[in-house]
Structure 1
Amino acid sequence: MTRTDVQDTLREMWETRPARPRDDRQIAGVAAGIARRYDIDPVLVRVGFVVAAFSGIGAALYIAGWILLPDAPADPSAPARSRTRGYLVVGLAIAAAITVGSLFGGNGPDVLLPLLVVAGLLYLLHRSRGKLGTGATASEAPTVATPAAAGGPSLVKDPAGPPAWDPLGAAPFAWDLPEPSPAPAPPPPRTLPVTSVTLGLALIAGAATSVIMLLAGALTVANLPVLLGVVLAVLGAGLVVGSFLRAGRGLIPFALLLSVLTWSVVAAPLDRWQGNGWGELRAAPTTVAALQTTYQRTAGEIDLDLRNLDLGVGPDGNTNAVRTRISLGAGDVLVQVPNTADVTLTGSLGVGDISFGEQRDDGPGAELNVVDDLGTDGVRSGRPLLLDIEAGAGDVEVRRG
């Protein structure tokens, strides 16, 4: 493949870009237009946009298609748009703005790689199926010439003379017979029950996985992503099969809901939800002996005040580090440390925001590691304080004073 071939293909892709139809659009008709251009099921294209959304570029790609693909002529008989589509448009705009912000906010490589993958797949699709689709909308039905329009005989009886089916008048005794009835319309094509079959298989697969995990002693909250992944894999297979059979569109809401649930469980690990209680936990130890090794909650708030904790070296000359661990499933964590304490922080958060002074990280998988922060005096003094904080979802703040 030469450079000229690539340029010709790209030029042809632009010149033959499809119009966005109005009769099969969910939001703006981008997926339906691409599907008709390349003669594939629009469900497959919509699933592709959903997968791209989880990589952070789906909304931006849809907005780009909305801008670049022309709109099909309006049909006066088409129903008015519902208000729900307006909310979807607002959601798309917000998601696209987040994508652009990620591109220029330091996450460029994470966004550019999925863009290159999508561009390559679209190029290969055009190379293999560029001659198949015509880009016409489904409402443009082919014109069928009637016998009268084509100059053929009419079957309408004329009282002043013989009917058209007997132009020579050879059978006047049969002129009063009823006209031949039109041929019955063919039955509509049968729709395969892809949605119901796939949902049934997903339930069976989920139940079988639960039984196997239960017998193996692995059916725990921490292993819930495995169970959700099995069910999601069955739904994904059903969507792929349905895209070729032009069926299974009812699976899309279930797949989207389960995808969001699975992503949330993976982003905020459920093993951190196995605490020893709910609600608020407040502690303000003043001695190392009163400081617990672990402060844990399933959900709620942990407020640990260490500003008056004595970290000085005692008469025994012990300079070992003072350690404590904080674990929270969901909620907020606030740790206050002395101004002059030597602090080392290891923090991880499934979803949310974690900060220590001016250092901050947020989003899924937020992490913050601070080594030997000497405090306001800037010198090593007393026993160092080591903090290990883990949370599933929420906000974590460590501050001085």
Structure 2
Amino acid sequence: MSSTKLSGAAGFEDTLRSFWATRPVRPRRGGKLGGVSAAIGTRYGIDPILVRVAFVLATIYGGAGVVLYLLGWLVFPKEGDLLPGSTEPTREPTSTGLAVVLVLLLIPGVFWLTSSPSIIGVALGLGALYLLHRNYGDRGVTPTATAPAAAAPVAGPQPAVPVAENTWVYPGVASTTTNAAQGEQPPQQPPAWDPLGAAPFAWDLPEPSEPEEPQPQRPKRRWITIATLALAAFASVLAAAIGARPESALAIALAVLGLGMIGGAFLRGGRGLIGAAIPVGALAVATAVLPMGDFTGNMGSDEVRPTSIENVLPHYQRSAGSVLFDLRNLQITDGQELRTGANVGLGDVTVQLPPNVDVTARCASQLGDVRCFNDTADGRGADISVTDQGEDGPGGGHIVLDLVVGTGSVEVTRG
């Protein structure tokens, strides 16, 4: 079998089928634990040590290497015995008892993959194996023996062959004998399109073929796409309902879509899942990379303009939007204290304070910029804590602020 580079969904499906048919075989000797690294190295002609190093790095990177190794141990067959007259060992599937143990180990391992590094590690590992088979799938496969080529005709003039008696030969055709017992060829017969032998000069042309009947189209198994999309949506909603973060819920949906594409590659369906997986994957990466804060609040804007501390809530929260504190008209006397704050996933927090009140403020942005009185910071992890006693010094009431955004800006100024 030779590696053929195809493009598009057909190439993806063909590569998966080829990988499954010729997937690595875990050897009896040379493997350290299960023989997964040795199997991959032998199959694709690379040093197994490099494969082991890759698994170790993937394990450090969020634990993805453990899950990938257990999965390979489960699906890669084991080297069997040599059959009589054969030079290739048989491929034995993983035993039932070992398969049960591996599945029981994989279940907590999959639930372990809730962080962004682990999800990215699994995706990179599967993608690397796909590219490895696509480019080096012809390695480690015994080539199929080809039939010997037919002997070439002998060049030069051939001796004349006498014509047997009572043998009628068509006009213009070299005569031959019909004595098959002597290995001689029978007389040349006219083709079906020239039964009278009127055009022997054109007998070497191919027979006119009838138009081929169109092959029946394979039924499009759209149920695979529909069922996988429904299952992916249900899994992500269920994950969000039990408290999973947005990036984890999207990663679960992406995993279901990936399993649907793998199954569709063998069932000849599910191509529409590729178009659905691309935006879901991009959104999962975006939510994992960009800090979005706590998304349990609502979306929108809050404008807080109180005149007394009783009109201010202890905490304001928005998944996306903005929070404005206009405290310039707040009536707060000496000895009173107001504690409030805001948490915005994606957006801004702005605070305007009266000139004389004492303020203790924490201004933080996981990704963005912060301006807390005269102190500024920007970039990732900007966090400033400031104590300012106003123009008149200590006294005149105390305000404690805790302001945090995931992606956006925080600004605290005096009006």
TM-score in terms of structure 2 length: 0.43
Q: Which has the larger radius of gyration?
A: 2
TM-score in terms of structure 1 length: 0.44
* Structure with bigger RCO (C-alpha 8 Å, 6+ apart): 1
